[in-house]
């Protein structure tokens, strides 16, 4: 069952990591200009994460009467909050890169996507956020969007959902396997993003992108080859221990 959950999370992570950059680039290619909005969308869909959390809590509550809704200790909570704020700068710069560069080029420069917070938006673009200013900006941009107002909102909502797939999948892979595997899947999927950008956005596939694809696939194959050898070695050691125990008993 653990392997099944791991595969599901790997698929979710791949969808988020491939789809996120593509739909973000689509937003800018068709008339979107607001970097802060596109950055915020990477975390704006966070209520979606509540659905699997609610399922997990309900499942735990059905098996025990002392199931707590929050399992995180205060120290971990505050540490995660600090890390999230610090990495917000990285998230903003990531979005800025996608606004100015092709998807394939940006994918060569960036290996991870993390959360952007309103605090950094205020610090970097010096813009004060109010409900009125946000609504006015989105309405005007939606009317001027090349694909039309309806598709504008589909792109915005789709972006928020797909980015949550990335975060949910990454956490799931780390939980059921390791952060190393999560990082490898993210790295391997970046050249896939480049290929998709060539197909859908007609970007040029240059030599360095081919090298990036080769190196990513090489790392992916090397990881699984090492895992196979490691598992085989553990299995052999287990068999040797069993044979030694049987010999001592005899």
pLDDT at 40: 83
Q: Give the whole-angstrom CA distance, residue 181 versus residue 202.
A: 31
d(CA 35, CA 124): 11
CA-based nearest residue to 159, from 23, 26, 46: 23
State the distance between the two ends of the chain, measured CA to CA, in whole angstroms.
37
What are the Cα distances from residue 237, in Å, to 63, 109, 224, 229, 248?
36, 42, 20, 12, 17
Tell me the per-residue pLDDT of 98-108, one tens digit each, with 9 for 90 and over: 788 777 666 66
Angle between helices 149-176 and 35-44 (to 10 degrees): 50
Nearest Cα residue to 43 out of 87, 99, 104, 11:
87
Buried b (16+ CB within 10 A) or exposed e, 29-63: eeebebbbbbbbbbbbbeeeeeeeeeeebeeeeee
Planar angle of CA 66, 72, 78, nearest 5 degrees = 150
Least confident of 49-63, 85-99, 119-133: 119-133
DSSP string spanning 66-106? T--S----HHHHHHHHHHHHHTHHHHHHHHHHHHHS-HHHH
Percentage of residues of the chain with pLDDT beyond 70: 71
pLDDT in tens, 164-213: 898 889 888 888 887 777 777 877 787 788 788 888 888 777 776 677 66
């Amino acid at each position: 069952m653990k392997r099944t959950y791991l595969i599901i999370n790997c698929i979710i992570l791949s969808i988020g990591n491939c789809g996120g950059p593509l739909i973000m680039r689509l937003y800018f290619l068709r008339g979107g200009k607001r970097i802060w909005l596109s950055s915020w969308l990477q975390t704006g869909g966070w209520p979606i994460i509540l659905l699997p959390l609610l399922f997990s809590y309900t499942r735990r509550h059905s098996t025990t009467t002392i199931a707590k809704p929050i399992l995180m200790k205060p120290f971990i909570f505050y540490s995660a909050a600090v890390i999230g704020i610090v990495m917000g700068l990285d998230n903003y710069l990531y979005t800025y890169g996608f606004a100015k560069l092709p998807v394939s080029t940006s994918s060569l420069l960036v290996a991870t996507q993390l959360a952007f917070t309103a605090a950094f938006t205020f610090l970097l673009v010096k813009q004060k956020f109010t409900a009125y200013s946000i609504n006015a900006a989105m309405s005007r941009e939606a009317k001027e969007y090349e694909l039309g107002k309806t598709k504008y909102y589909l792109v915005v909502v789709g972006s928020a959902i797909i980015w949550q797939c990335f975060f949910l999948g990454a956490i799931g892979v780390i939980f059921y396997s390791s952060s190393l595997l999560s990082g490898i899947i993210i790295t391997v999927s970046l050249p896939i993003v480049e290929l998709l950008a060539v197909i859908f956005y007609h970007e040029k596939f240059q030599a360095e992108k081919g090298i990036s694809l080769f190196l990513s696939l090489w790392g992916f194959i090397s990881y699984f080859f090492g895992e196979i050898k490691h598992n085989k070695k553990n299995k052999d050691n287990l068999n040797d221990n069993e044979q030694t125990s049987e010999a001592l008993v005899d």
